[in-house]
């Protein structure tokens, strides 16, 4: 069964045609990695799913059409988004950042899950988010998305700009989260992708050029052909 089904998605931004008939499926209870060189439309795809950009075609969440819905309605339908640049509220505390994201009135169990995953956020609950390190801010961004019951979690470049040690910490968290949440993950770090993804989509020039299992990620010539990188960490 598929949590998300995208068909013939076309998106134009400022007269530029960005997505050209993008079609793919995101299986339920699996991590799907959305891969491709820079500028091929990966982030645009996530942002269109969230309703930030208009498009034509079809985006179905568990069989329900969400393309054309307002962003807050899409969120209420169960789509959570961790943006590329974290986008925490710098002048608010960690706890206030989390509280703004929590939709339900009784989120004690959700907070427990979040603080079990990110014990550092519990100890820094009263600290301003803007004073946190990049890795800690990424933890806040991921934690916000986990405070509500989600049908799918969209995660855009979670390890971008992080030191290697923090990349490992974020990878550990994503591995834990993926055990209970369907995830569509945009990520350049192939070591992380190999660790957590069960399904892979590759985009090139606004189109899907591959969709299938992750086994090809272990073939260096395939990775170089599809992504223009070696089969290492980039």
State both tokens at 74.
């899409």
155, burial (CB in 10 Å: exposed 0-12, middle 13-18, buried 19+): buried
Per-residue exposure over 106-145, b if at least 16 CB sit within 10 Å of its own CB, e if not: ebeebbebbbebbeebeebeeebbeebeebbbbbbbbbbb
In a domain, 99, yes or no: no
In a domain, 136, yes or no: no
In a domain, 163, yes or no: yes
* Structural domain total, the chain: 1
**What is the SS3 assignment for 34?**
strand
Scanning the structure block, which residue is given the tokens 């985009």?
Answer: 203
In a domain, 140, yes or no: no
Dihedral (CA of 177, 180, 181, 187) sign: positive
Candidates 156, 198, 169; CA nearest to 25 is 198
Kindly list the strands in the beta sheet with 31-35, ordered across the sheet, starting from the edge strand earlier in the chain. Answer: 79-82, 152-156, 183-186, 31-35, 199-204, 207-212
Scanning the structure block, which residue is given the tokens 């329900």?
Answer: 64
In a domain, 122, yes or no: no
The CA–CA distances, whole Å, from 225 to 157, 176, 220, 222, 232 equal 21, 31, 9, 5, 14
Quote the CA–CA distance of 54 and 151 in Å, as a whole number.
22
The highest-confidence range among 71-75, 140-144, 148-152, by mean pLDDT, is 71-75
In a domain, 145, yes or no: no
162-219 confidence digits (pLDDT tens): 888 888 888 888 888 888 889 999 999 999 999 999 999 999 999 999 999 999 999 9
pTM: 0.89
In a domain, 223, yes or no: yes
2-44 confidence digits (pLDDT tens): 999 999 999 999 989 999 999 999 999 999 999 999 999 999 9
Structural domain span for residue 179: 2-86+150-227
Residue 182's CATH number: 3.40.50.300
């Amino acid at each position: 069964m598929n949590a998300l089904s995208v068909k013939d998605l076309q998106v134009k931004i400022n007269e530029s045609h960005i997505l050209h008939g993008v079609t793919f499926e995101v299986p339920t209870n699996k991590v799907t990695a959305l891969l491709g060189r820079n500028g091929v439309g990966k982030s645009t795809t996530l942002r269109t799913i969230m309703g930030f950009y208009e498009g034509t075609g079809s985006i179905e969440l568990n069989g329900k059409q969400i393309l054309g819905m307002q962003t807050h309605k899409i969120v209420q339908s169960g789509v959570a988004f961790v943006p590329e640049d974290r986008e925490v509220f710098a002048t608010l505390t960690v706890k206030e950042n989390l509280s703004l994201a929590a939709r339900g009135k009784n989120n004690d169990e959700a907070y427990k899950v979040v603080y079990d995953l990110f014990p550092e956020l519990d100890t820094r609950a009263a600290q301003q988010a803007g004073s946190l390190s990049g890795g800690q801010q990424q933890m806040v961004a991921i934690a916000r998305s986990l405070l509500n019951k989600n049908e799918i979690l969209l995660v855009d470049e979670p390890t971008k700009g992080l030191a290697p040690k923090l990349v490992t910490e974020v990878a550990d968290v994503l591995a834990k989260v993926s055990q209970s949440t369907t995830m569509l993950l945009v990520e350049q770090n192939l070591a992380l992708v190999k660790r957590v993804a069960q399904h892979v989509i590759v985009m090139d020039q606004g189109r899907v050029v591959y969709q299938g299992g992750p086994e090809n990620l272990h073939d260096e010539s395939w990775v170089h052909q599809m992504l223009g990188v070696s089969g290492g960490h980039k």
